[in-house]
């Protein structure tokens, strides 16, 4: 049985470590590249497929019109409104429309972001509101 040279064994271990490190780095680069591409598409709206222009009464048209009206109601800051009473119908239309679920999901993300922002702003403004109220006469508190 031949005896290995200690320097040769050390060189082989070092080469093995380099190969393993190269594999880990390659996997990390691929993962970072794919993640970056996904984030860029989301942030800049690349790859978004708009709902097709469709005839009145179609699921696509009902979804598109409904999502737009709900978005406009959000913009106006309306809570209960005729648009929101139709939200379930819009959701069902979007579920049956080509690319409708993505439109509905985008609306839901907007709603959640607005709710979170509103909640955050109220938390931050609460001390200032208490300060203003403290300056009011008792009958106006």
Q: Are residues 69 and 133 in the same domain?
A: yes
pLDDT value for 55 = 85
pLDDT value for 79 = 65
Domain of residue 14 covers: 8-47
Q: Has residue 113 got a pLDDT over 70?
A: yes
Give per-residue pLDDT as tens, 49-100: 777 788 888 888 888 888 888 888 888 876 667 778 889 999 999 899 888 8
pLDDT value for 84 = 81
2 in any annotated domain: no
Q: Are residues 63 and 41 in the same domain?
A: no
Q: Are residues 108 and 68 in the same domain?
A: yes
120 in any annotated domain: yes
Q: Has residue 18 got a pLDDT over 80?
A: yes
Give per-residue pLDDT as tens, 24-54: 999 999 999 999 888 887 777 667 777 778 8
Q: Are residues 12 and 74 in the same domain?
A: no
Phi, psi of 3 (to 5 degrees): -90, 130
Task: Identify whether the C-beta of residue 97 lies closer than 8 Å to the C-beta of residue 60.
Answer: yes
53 in any annotated domain: no
Q: Which residues contact 74 (CB under 8 A, 6 or more apart)?
A: 110, 111, 114
Q: Are residues 30 and 64 in the same domain?
A: no
Task: Identify whether the C-beta of residue 98 lies closer than 8 Å to the C-beta of residue 52.
Answer: yes
What average pLDDT score do residues 133-141 get?
Answer: 56
Q: Has residue 23 got a pLDDT over 90?
A: yes
Q: How many domains does the chain have?
A: 2
pLDDT value for 16 = 93
Q: Are residues 31 and 83 in the same domain?
A: no
Among 77, 47, 51, which Cα is nearest to 64's? 51
18 in any annotated domain: yes
pLDDT value for 22 = 95
Cβ neighbours of 65 (radius 10 Å): 15
Distance in angstroms (rounded) separating the CA atoms of residues 25 and 5: 30
Distance in angstroms (rounded) separating the CA atoms of residues 9 and 85: 75
pLDDT value for 141 = 45
């Amino acid at each position: 049985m031949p005896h290995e040279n200690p320097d040769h064994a050390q060189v082989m271990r070092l080469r093995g470590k380099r190969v393993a490190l190269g594999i880990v780095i390659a996997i990390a680069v691929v993962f970072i590249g794919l993640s970056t591409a996904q984030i860029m598409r989301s942030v800049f709206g690349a790859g978004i497929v708009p709902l097709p222009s469709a005839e009145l009464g179609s699921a696509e048209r009902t979804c598109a019109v409904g999502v737009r009206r709900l978005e406009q109601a959000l913009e106006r800051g309306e809570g209960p409104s005729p648009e929101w009473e139709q939200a379930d119908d819009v959701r069902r239309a979007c579920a049956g429309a080509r690319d409708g679920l993505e439109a509905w999901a985008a609306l839901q993300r907007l709603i959640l972001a607005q709710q979170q922002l509103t909640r955050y702003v109220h938390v931050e403004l609460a001390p200032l509101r208490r300060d203003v109220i403290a300056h009011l006469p008792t009958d106006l508190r």
